[in-house]
Structure 1
């Protein structure tokens, strides 16, 4: 049996999270995919966002499947990672059918959804106290690092061998599968899990009995909508940047993945500094975040043929997003009873995933409303509306909270 406290075993636990955000790794290849498959801009963007739809479904189904078929966390994770590897590689094999590639991307998301929650729960079961907290923090960092690395590697493969080669990055799933399978202990620790679940149920009942909050506030549904809109903007910018970069630099430009990777550094910094900024500004953090996101959108829209301004707009958006999204989760404990916290948290997560999935269609609808084409510089058109929308949301929040405070 492997020593759970060895660095190699800890890395094995974290390795599965490294692949969880690799769905967006092929975003830099979207212009080439669009041209090769002869599809619209929106159809090409759905190749990046479709996995999010399947993730939503299978995150819910995964615990049920696990219970029905009596599958341990480790085996469920290995099944999910295997599906990611197999389905992720499908477009690599010189396939030029859009429906087949879209279908493989949908099943790729199913793989992520099957093991998303288990990647967290296994750490919670096997580790305790400070080590558990440390591992959960490292797990979140592994997602960011994984997305940045796979974006960079997919871009490199795109430059060297074309868009088919970009999908070769999913071969990393099999490396992760072997490493995880060999290093993570097989013992399911069933007794400990059963005891822990029993304690959590008892604590939940006790909390509910003494909870001052008796019903879910309607504000929760507004936060779900808020989460949806934030990710529509963020993922939309990720999807549209490669096309705008090619429009400025020329059809042969394949360096978009480098900047998409750097974009994640801003998001990571936002997460790291959220605590200290929130401590200083309190609820004012939401205004700072929305304001910076609006500036990012305006830079992206007004960049025109200026590639440097376009890149600054792209790199800026990740930092404020990570100031606003944690605040949403921090507000939930005051908006619903303890018994309903898992439900409202899941609702917000679904809001984020729905936003990612529908981002291409919302961007396309915004283009049509503005009378702008979904090509050339028209790709930047939605971000003027998004930027103004963020400022309107900030104003609504300000006046609503001010009015509530004066009551």
Structure 2
């Protein structure tokens, strides 16, 4: 059996998360794909967002499929990665929009099939500081994967065309082989004797008490995940339009800053373990505070492009401080045999946020009486910033109240 503490085995655990954000790899190909297939802008964008819809369904079905067919965590992950590789490569060979859209839906099913297990497997194989570090690295692996696949697909597009850019999904089979060879396959994920850490104390949980049911706090974390991603994806989606509004219709430099945004998110994931070790649950306040600052810089920048870019580049770092914390709390809020379920619920929150972010932003624009064009695209973000501060205050007073009750 591989040593779970070895760096190679840890990299094998993390490698499957490298592919889970690869749905965004084709963003650079959309203009060429749109022209070649004769489709609308909205139809082309659905090729990027449709996988998120399938993820929401299959993160729920995945634990049920696993239970019905008695499939181990390792095997369900390998099945999901295989589906990602096969479905991802379909557009290499077809020119029909509906066929490509269906392949993207199946691609999302592959992500959903294994995403929660990739996280819950870390939660049960590792504990304490090592678990926090691995969850932070997992978040960083997602950002590195998105940046790497986006870059590779873009390079292929430049030299070969939009069809060939889908060849980036060959990487799924490389990940599959690495994971299969290095990650042990056993039933530790079903072991109820998972070590607990001190984070649960912030919610008034008793460390000495065996966890037998799912805490209601899990459902608050799902809502929390939804709101975080609404903000993050909203800023990512609206930045190119605002960049053109400030710099002119021929400006094409927004892609570079979106890539740099992912670097900030990667740094957040890498630093999470060290920051959480020092600040503990205070990490959530640091993350929410920096996210709020990012929204205010972005939303109030006006025609100051530099301030807007600073706001954009800042938001990824705190998001990756807060999102690993959500998963790090779960082992203290549900029994080990329910970890895939609660992890799936939080992933649904994240994917719902990504899928509905444009609609939430549009509603906010209407609420603020701002147009869905030009500088009006920045209108939702000060509102989001205030919302984040309110959430931080609610968490602070709720945890303080629980701590007083526990004493």
Q: Please confirm whether the aligned pair reaches a TM-score higher than 0.5, indicating the same fold.
A: yes
Shift of 1:149: 0.7
- Asked if 1 retains the 8 angstrom alpha-carbon contact of 2:120 and 2:339, the reply is no
Relative distance call for 1:161 and 1:256 in structure 2 (3 A) is: farther
The 2-side partners of 1:234 and 1:375 are apart by: 19
State the Cα distance separating 1:85 from its structure 2 match: 3.0
Map of 1:49 onto structure 2: 49
Residue matched to 2:58 = 58
1:222 CA displacement? 2.5
- Among 13, 37, 40, the alignment partner of 1:38 is 40
- What residue in structure 2 maps to residue 233 of structure 1? 231
Q: Distance in 2 between matches of 1:401 and 1:57?
A: 32
Structure 1 residue runs without a partner (length 5+): none
Secondary structure at 1:295 match in 2: helix
| 1:389 aligned residue (384, 387, 390) | 387
Q: Would you say 1:379 and 2:377 are equivalent positions?
A: yes
- 1:6-405 superposed matches below 5 A: 15-28=15-28, 37-40=39-42, 46-66=46-66, 76-91=76-91, 95=95, 97=97, 100-117=99-116, 119=118, 141-157=140-156, 166-177=165-176, 179-180=177-178, 184=181, 193-194=186-187, 196=188, 200-201=191-192, 211=209, 218-249=216-247, 254-332=252-330, 343-401=341-399
Asked if the contact 2:116/2:347 (under 8 Å) is kept, the reply is no
Identify if the C-alpha distance between structure 1 residues 270 and 251 changes in structure 2 by more than 3 Å, giving closer, same or farther: same
Task: Quickly say closer, same or farther: Cα 1:373–1:37, change in 2 above 3 A.
Answer: farther
CA shift at 1:355, angstroms?
1.4
Change (3 A) 1:236 1:95: farther
Deviations 1:299-337 (A, max 9, x none): 222334444333211110011112223343455566567
Distance 1:121 1:245, change over 3 A: same
Change (3 A) 1:156 1:364: farther
RMSD between superposed Cα atoms in Å = 4.6
- Using the TM superposition, give the Cα deviation of residue 26 of structure 1 relative to its aligned residue in structure 2, in angstroms: 3.2
Q: Assess if the C-alpha contact under 8 Å between 2:246 and 2:303 holds in 1.
A: yes
Would the aligned equivalents of 2:140 and 2:320 in 1 still touch at CA under 8 Å? no
What is the deviation of 1:22?
0.9
1:203-234 per-residue CA deviation (whole Å, 9 max, x = no partner) reads: 79xx9996277765544433321121011111
Segments of 5+ residues of structure 2 without an aligned counterpart are 196-204
Relative to structure 1, the CA distance from residue 163 to residue 306 in structure 2 (aligned partners, 3 Å threshold; closer, same or farther) is: farther
Q: CA deviation at 1:293?
A: 0.8
Distance in 2 separating the partners of 1:401 and 1:70: 38
The superposition leaves residues 85-125 of structure 1 with CA deviations (integer Å, 9 ceiling, x where unpaired) of 3433445567474x554433221111112333555688899
Distance 2:139 2:338 in 1: 24
The alignment partner of 1:311 has SS state of helix
Deviates more, 1:83-92 or 1:362-371: 83-92
How far apart, CA to CA, are the structure 2 residues paired with 1:89 and 1:325?
30
How many residues end up aligned between the 2 structures? 392
Note the C-alpha offset of 1:72: 6.7
